Amino acid sequence: MRDPEAGAAAVTDVAGHATGDVPLLVRRTGNEAVALVTAAFPEIGAHPLRPGSSPSGDAGTSSVTVRAAVAEAAVWNPATGSRTPAHVTVSGDGNVSTIDVPLDGAPAVLVVWREGRPTPTGPQLEAPAQVLDVSTGWHGRLVPTMDNTWGDLALPPGSPVDEPQIWTMEWTEGGAWERTRVTYGNRVRVLPPVPFDEVPEPLDATAVERILAGELPLVPPDAGWGVAVYSSSRGIPDPGGLLGLKGLVNEEFVRVPVPGGATAARVRAIVETGHRGPAELHVGAECVKRVWWNGEPLEPDGGGYLASARVTVARDRNVLEYELSGAQSRPSTISAAEGTPLGSFFCLSEPGGLGPRPRFMRPPDGVRPDGRVAYRARLRVPGGDARAVLVVGAASAVTVLLDGEVVARQEKVEYYEADWGAVPMFFRHEPELGAGEHTLEVVADGADARDAVFVDLVVRSGAGVTALVSGAGWEAGSGDWRGRTVEDERRRGEVQHCHAVVRPHPLPDTGWLTGRPVLGGTVWPSRSTDDVHAMPQRFRFTVPAGTVSLALPLLLRASARVGDGPELPLDGDRLKLGQPLQEPTPVEVVTEPTAVLRGGSAWRGPVRVRAVPAPLPLGDWRELGLGSWSGGVTYARVLDVPSGPDPVLDLGRVRGSVEVSVDGEPAGEAFCAPYRFPLRGAAGRTVRLEVTVRGTLAPYLAEATPTAWAFDSQLSSGLLGPVTLRIPSGPEDGP
């Protein structure tokens, strides 16, 4: 086509032949066509659904406009297999047709039509159906679906996940009630970055003693110090992360706004531990650090990510203070944003407890590589029958040699070229190593000294474990230059997912997810708070109907009240009820006074509910004491079905997949609206209906794990209704 304007008009005509309320996917063959019509566009991500687009099951309609006369049309529902004639309105000139598309709450339907001259017919009008509301009278039975046989959901393998767990509850120390989450309650105080000349003086030994005696607050009031909360087993409450947490608990559990330029941030905490004697205090952060312990300045070893210093622990409670400054504003990771908060951690361990930990290494500043940099180090394997795991990470091409022999080659990660060096690729190798000394050499291609390399080699031989890790001090050479490596101090975020084996975590209670460390010593369990004045802790939550007992894994002595019953002291973890609860019921727990085990940190784990079948109202499981339940619920009731045509069971709004049975025989399944099921042969009989609703893993993962990938829009589950029995009266002739 030579005329550009005519070409553009032709393309526009083709693209707009069929349009709708949402973008359509249309395919045409001759005078026949099909269009995919969705209920909302777009609706995926972490944000709640827009008003009106929630999959509610309410009757909703859309439309398709076709620039032609449509002879007939139908709506096909891929979920149910139903095909329903669609109403078509043709314009007076016959050039435009509008097809009404009833969605009935379905996320998407197919609209099929044939273009041509419409054939006039007398309309068939559906006579009003008799509608019986059967939303009440249901009994519920829990149906476990999660399987932890192999430790996929928690370690050790076989840890029970077949009972409802309650992780989120309300909490107060006498003031307003707040939401808290089980295990989250360790507290530190954070001063956001301020200019160097405005940074407060560190606490001295005298101030520390007065703080621990309750005579001084840990931080001055109204001085801009915020509160940071974390869990000893799950880290920070909202870990985020573009690519998730790699199935791990973040090591960095204290975050501060980036202390860049001529600014510094401060962190203070009262740290309680039951251990005594010589220890190592570790503070990890990708920035410059200054550390004080009980008012005394420390001189940590090394100047890289991890600052470690010898201390002596002589009492239960101690005051930790550290300062962070000189941080890079944008992490060197894919799609990272300016101003990403800076993470840090602290912990106490036995001397050498954290063990060797790999960091990225590179030549010192001022070295100009000639296109290749060779890194070399040695490792002694004490015995035979060794099992070795080697992880090498780099954005540049890398050749790996063991005792002079090439064992691996990694090519340059060119598809991240636009984000130079930001996202290295990590490769795992399993070289064969015998007893004796070995030389590992990693040769990186590159002409920029910033091309850093990561190496983690761990060898298990008999009962011993030996490691060779990248960092400062490796032999290195390029061209005529020979020297030692330095640790690359750019911000890279968490790298524990790149470790060759599990190492000690700064939060030792994270073993439920990672298992026992293979390498390193013992990190001491500790708690932290910001006040030494003890207060009782009060918690309240709702348990589901049918509850017969509760496991209450508290770390403090406590009493409990169920509903309007008396407050009774707890003897052990298990609270047994005299009879099953007949409705969702509030429970209130009051602990002895504490200064350290505050909020969710007063709990070792979630409340576990043992329940039997019981009356169950319709509604969101979150409102019925089943907020973290990622199994199924079978709703059952007996129903007298009127004589006449066989009815249709309409479940209304449902969040989950559904199976329906009548007297034990399957009547249908559905995973999206409309949740309607013909009850064939049920007319005139008394039948037992069972409706099993199954949710997804999202509620459990959102409550029990630190995942960043369970969104608010995924957390609702249940049979919400209304549930009706629709008894058709048959068609009646139109005028």
Which one of 56, 88, 121 terminates a domain? 121
> 341 and 192 in one domain?
yes
Is residue 470 a part of any domain in this protein?
Answer: yes
Is 186 found in the same domain as 63? no
What does the pLDDT average to over 557-584?
93
Task: Give how far the C-alpha of residue 130 lies from the chain's centroid of Cα atoms, to the nearest Å.
Answer: 46
CATH code where residue 102 lies: 2.60.40
The DSSP code sequence of 238-278 is: ----TT--TTS--S--EEE----TTEEEEEEEEEE-S--EE
Percent of the chain with pLDDT over 70: 90
- Asked if residue 475 belongs to a domain, the reply is yes
pLDDT given at position 303: 77
Mean per-residue pLDDT, 243-260: 87
Pick 396 or 164 by higher pLDDT. Answer: 164
**Structural domain contains residue 274:** yes
**Where is the domain boundary, 121, 156, 190?**
121
pLDDT at position 56, please? 41
Q: Read off the pTM.
A: 0.85
pLDDT at 15 over 50: yes
Residues 298 and 411 occupy one common structural domain: no
For residues 413 and 444, membership in a common domain is answered with yes
Q: Is the pLDDT of residue 450 over 80?
A: no
When pLDDT is cut at 50, 70 and 90, the band that residue 241 belongs to is: low
Question: What is residue 714's DSSP assignment?
Answer: G
For the chain, the first-to-last Cα distance in angstroms comes to 51
Q: Which residues pair with 269 in a beta bridge?
A: 320
pLDDT digits (tens, 9 = 90+) for 166-200: 999 999 999 999 999 999 999 999 999 999 999 99
pLDDT above 90 for 6? no
- Classify residue 511: in a domain, yes or no: no
Picking from 568, 594, 611, the residue at the C-terminal end of a domain is: 611
448: exposed, middle or buried (Cβ count in 10 Å: 0-12, 13-18, 19+)? middle
Same domain, 304 and 377: no
| pLDDT grade for 382, boundaries at 50, 70 and 90 | confident
User: Is pLDDT at 541 greater than 70 in this prediction?
Assistant: yes
Segment 31-38 mean pLDDT: 92
CATH code at position 343:
2.60.120
pLDDT at residue 44, rounded to an integer: 45
Is residue 220 one of the residues assigned to a domain? Answer: yes
On whether the CB atoms of residues 256 and 266 are closer than 8 A, the answer is no
Q: Are 287 and 259 spatial neighbours (Cβ–Cβ below 8 Å)?
A: yes
Check residue 4 and give its pLDDT: 58
Q: How confident is the model at residue 732 (pLDDT cuts 50, 70, 90)?
A: very low
Tens of pLDDT, residue by residue over 688-731, are 999 999 999 999 999 998 887 888 889 999 999 999 999 987 55
pLDDT of residue 378: 95
Residue 126 pLDDT exceeds 70: no
316 and 366 housed in the same domain: no
Confidence of residue 10 (pLDDT cuts 50, 70, 90): very low
Query: Is 602 in the same domain as 673?
Result: no
Counting Cα atoms < 13 Å in the Cβ hemisphere of 121 gives: 11
Asked if the structure places residue 99 within a domain, the reply is: yes
Task: Quote the strand ranges of 77-214, DSSP E.
Answer: 83-85, 88-90, 97-102, 108-115, 124-126, 130-133, 139-143, 165-166, 168-172, 178-181, 184-195
Give residue 334's pLDDT.
Answer: 67
Out of 38-47, 134-143, 447-456, pick the least confident: 38-47
CB-CB contact of 149 with 158 (8 Å): yes
Question: Both 323 and 394 in a single domain?
Answer: no
Same domain, 324 and 295: yes
Check whether residue 336 and residue 440 sit in a common domain. Answer: no
**Cis check: omega of the bond before 257, within 30 degrees of 0:** no
Is residue 183 domain-resident?
A: yes
505 occurs within a structural domain: no
- Structural domain of residue 82, as residue ranges? 4-121
Cβ neighbours of 97 (radius 10 Å): 22
Top-confidence residue, 284 or 127: 284
Inform me whether the pLDDT recorded for 127 exceeds 60. no
In CATH, what number is assigned to the domain containing residue 396?
2.60.120.260
Which tens digit of pLDDT belongs to each residue from 596-654?
Answer: 999 999 999 999 999 999 999 999 999 999 999 999 999 999 999 999 999 999 999 99
Range 182-210 burial, b when 16+ CB lie within 10 A, else e: bbbbbbbbbbebbeeeebbebbeeebbee
Which pLDDT score, from 0 to 100, does residue 43 have?
47
pLDDT at 402 over 60: yes
- Give the mean pLDDT of 452-471: 92
What pLDDT does residue 316 have? 95
Looking at the fold, whether 415 and 476 belong to one and the same domain comes out as yes
Rounded CA separation 112/50 (Å): 28
Structural domains in the chain (count): 5
Based on the domain organization, do 181 and 308 belong to the same domain?
Answer: yes
Position 498 scores a pLDDT of: 92
